[in-house]
């Protein structure tokens, strides 16, 4: 049984474990004040090309989203997200649990546009309704699509004009930025969004997301929020060491590229076999639509999510590749898929 279920099925890239071993007995201060975390933050700023951002290392995506959003908003302000947004349906009401409504927007391809948001603003004119304030986007999105530079610039301009906070969930930012269709760079982001995070967990780390706060007005006292929500690890070094290793050279991007490459092979071959896709994804999650009988056949040897029913006889499945997906397993899967057709 081989798994295409997600990109966090294995541990971490071996270099990360080695780095943990090598630094293991060095005594350090706790709670992110260790030299590794501090160096990691400096290194990330260098890679982002901005020394004036604030960077905090956290454990996971839901944690990062809930702390950032609740720290950024006042009690009556709401977030907006595409209906497919992770915070809407897959985080157990984590944002609402901090007191904030999320306004759901039906959005093409999982991506938001200025006109989507304008419609929400128009529908929330006064104090009998929440005040829409933060725009939550993901890149890559939950359905594998990515934002072009142009799309993100439009969104950014609109948010600035309307005093909205633009926040990017980057759980799979590595995959987005190394996608063949991508024209954004890591260093473009600080000028375009108010805050974003660089996902480590889904790109080779054991655990870890790096939250980058670009907008000065959102920076103050952020460590208080981390501590209050249980996110400051006593051994914060665990996070610092990993990001140091991922960004010491090109490792972070190489790992993401590998995942994308494996997904691209899957996409191409499944396409050639004349199957359609639910979304047009250039990243490491793809959503082929297959006959239910074939899915049942594949499930004998592979694990993956059945995403949604398409019609009585077809469903979309989700295949996720990762930094460690083996090319021969991809080939074997495709073989199995093709043979299942006969």
Q: Segment 120-139, which members bind a copy of itself (CB under 8 A)? A: 127-131
Which stretches of the chain are DSSP H helices?
14-22, 35-48, 61-72, 86-89, 94-97, 114-122, 149-161, 173-177, 189-192, 222-228, 237-248, 251-272, 292-299, 327-341
Q: Please report how close the Cβ of residue 148 comes to a copy of itself at its closest, in angstroms.
A: 28
- Nearer Cβ to a copy of itself (50/101): 101
Find all residues with CB under 8 Å of 24, minimum gap 6, and list them: none
3-state secondary structure 67-115: HHHHHHCCCCEEEEEECCCHHHHCCCCHHHHCCCCEEEECCHHHCCCHH
Residue 172 in the binding site for a copy of itself (CB under 8 A): no
Q: Please report how close the Cβ of residue 191 comes to a copy of itself at its closest, in angstroms.
A: 26
Residue 51 in the binding site for a copy of itself (CB under 8 A): no
Token representation of residue 301: 């040897």
Residue 187 in the binding site for a copy of itself (CB under 8 A): no
Residue 246 in the binding site for a copy of itself (CB under 8 A): no
Burial class for 161, CB neighbours closer than 10 Å (0-12, 13-18, 19+): exposed
Find all residues with CB under 8 Å of 156, minimum gap 6, and list them: 166, 191, 192, 193
Residue 306 in the binding site for a copy of itself (CB under 8 A): no
Q: Which of residues 189-228 bind a copy of itself (CB under 8 A)?
A: 201-202, 206-207, 221, 223-228
Residue 9 in the binding site for a copy of itself (CB under 8 A): yes
Residue 318 in the binding site for a copy of itself (CB under 8 A): no
Query: Which one of residues 50, 101, 219, 336 is an interface residue with a copy of itself (CB under 8 A)?
Result: 101
Query: Which one of residues 42, 46, 90, 249 is an interface residue with a copy of itself (CB under 8 A)?
Result: 90
The kind and range of the H/E element at 211 are: strand 209-213
Residue 341 in the binding site for a copy of itself (CB under 8 A): no
Query: Which one of residues 40, 48, 55, 67 is an interface residue with a copy of itself (CB under 8 A)?
Result: 67
Query: Which one of residues 15, 45, 50, 96 is an interface residue with a copy of itself (CB under 8 A)?
Result: 96
């Amino acid at each position: 049984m081989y798994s295409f279920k997600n990109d966090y099925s294995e541990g971490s890239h071996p270099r990360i474990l080695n780095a943990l071993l090598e630094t293991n007995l060095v005594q350090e201060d706790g709670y992110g004040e260790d030299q590794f975390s501090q160096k990691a933050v400096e290194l990330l700023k260098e890679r982002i090309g901005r020394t004036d951002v604030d960077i905090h290392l956290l454990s996971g995506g839901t944690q990062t989203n809930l702390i950032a959003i609740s720290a950024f908003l006042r009690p009556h302000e709401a977030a907006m997200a595409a209906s497919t947004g992770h915070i809407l349906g897959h985080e157990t009401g984590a944002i609402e649990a901090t007191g904030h409504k999320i306004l759901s927007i039906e959005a093409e391809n999982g991506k938001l546009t200025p006109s989507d948001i304008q419609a929400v603003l128009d529908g929330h004119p006064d104090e009998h309704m929440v005040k829409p304030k933060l725009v939550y986007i993901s890149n890559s999105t939950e359905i594998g699509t990515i934002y072009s530079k142009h799309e993100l610039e439009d969104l950014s301009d609109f948010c600035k004009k309307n005093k909205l906070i633009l926040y990017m969930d980057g759980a799979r930012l590595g995959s987005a930025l190394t996608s063949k269709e991508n024209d954004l760079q890591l260093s473009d982001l600080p000028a375009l969004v108010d805050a974003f995070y660089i996902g480590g967990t889904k790109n080779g780390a054991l655990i870890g997301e790096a939250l980058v706060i670009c907008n000065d007005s959102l920076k103050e006292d952020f460590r208080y929020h981390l501590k209050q929500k249980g996110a400051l690890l006593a051994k914060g070094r665990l996070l610092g060491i990993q990001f140091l290793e991922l960004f010491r050279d090109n490792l972070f991007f190489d790992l993401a590229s590998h995942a994308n490459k494996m997904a691209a092979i899957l996409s191409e071959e499944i396409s050639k076999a004349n199957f359609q896709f639910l979304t047009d994804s250039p990243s490491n999650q793809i959503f082929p639509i297959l006959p239910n009988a074939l899915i049942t056949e594949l499930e004998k040897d592979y694990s993956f999510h059945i995403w949604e029913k398409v019609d009585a006889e077809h469903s979309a499945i989700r295949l996720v590749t990762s930094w460690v997906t083996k090319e021969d397993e991809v080939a074997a899967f495709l073989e199995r898929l093709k043979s299942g057709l006969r």
